[in-house]
Amino acid sequence: MKIRHIVAAIGLIVLPGIAAAHTGHGSGGFSAGVFHPLGGADHLLAMLSVGLWAALQGGSAGWKVPTAFVAMLITGAVLGLAGVHLPLVEALIAASVLVLGLAVMLAARVPAAAGIALVGLFALFHGHAHGAEVPAGAASYLYVLGMAMASAALHLAGFGIGRALQRHAWLLRSGGALVAGAGAWLVVSL
C-alpha cells in the first residue's frame, strides 16, 4: 500500500468526525451505536490511536490493548446506561486523545499491563459518555453492541495503518503529533 493511499484513507476517516460527538443518537439501536464512534473527532481519533499505539507496542500488546479498551468501553457504557455518575467524563475523553496521540508520536513503549491500564481508564469514560446518551426506551444492548463493534473496527484500522507505516516512522509519529494537537485543542476548549 502506498503512503498516499494511507494518508487519503486517514483523511476520509477523520473528516466526518469534525462534528461534535455528544449530541444525542436518534433511535439508540445498533446503527446509532455503530455510527456514534465514527461521528465525533474525539472518539474517532482515540480509537484509531489505540490501534496505532498497539501496533507500535508489538507482541501480545497488539491484541491485549485494544481488547482491554473494548471491554472497558462496554463496562463504561453499562455504567452510563445505569445512570452511574462519573466525574470529569468529557475532560478525560479529551485527555485520552492528547495522551494517546503523544504515545504514538513518541512511540512510547510500556509494559503491556501499563498499556492495558491506561487505555482501560480512558475507555471507561468513552463508554460512559456513549451509554449515558442512549435515549430512554431505546434498544440499549444493540446500541452497545454496535458501539463496541465500530470501536473494534477502528482499532483494527489503526493497527493496520500502524503496521503499514512502521517503515515510515516519521509519518506515523507525525500522525501522532496531529492527534496530540487535536487532543490539546479539545482539552483547552472544555
What is the structure's pLDDT at 39? 83
The mean pLDDT value for 135-158 works out to 90
Summarize pLDDT for 80-113 with one digit per residue, the tens.
999 999 999 999 999 999 999 999 999 999 999 9
The answer, yes or no, to whether residue 10 has pLDDT greater than 90, is no
The CA distance from 102 to 185, in Å, is: 13
The mean pLDDT value for 144-159 works out to 95
What is the structure's pLDDT at 139? 86
The answer, yes or no, to whether residue 143 has pLDDT greater than 60, is yes
SS3 22: coil
The mean pLDDT value for 167-184 works out to 94
Mean pLDDT for the chain overall: 87
Grid coordinates belonging to 129: 459518555
- Among 44-48, 58-62, 99-103, the minimum mean pLDDT is found in 58-62
* CB-CB contact of 61 with 112 (8 Å): yes
Cell 491500564, residue? 117
pTM confidence score: 0.84
The answer, yes or no, to whether residue 152 has pLDDT greater than 90, is yes
User: Helices 140-164 and 61-81 meet at what angle, rounded to 10?
Assistant: 160
The CA distance from 15 to 107, in Å, is: 25
Cell 435515549, residue? 135
The CA distance from 116 to 148, in Å, is: 17
Q: How confident is the model at residue 1 (pLDDT cuts 50, 70, 90)?
A: low
Handedness of CA 160, 161, 162, 164 (dihedral sign): positive
The answer, yes or no, to whether residue 38 has pLDDT greater than 90, is no
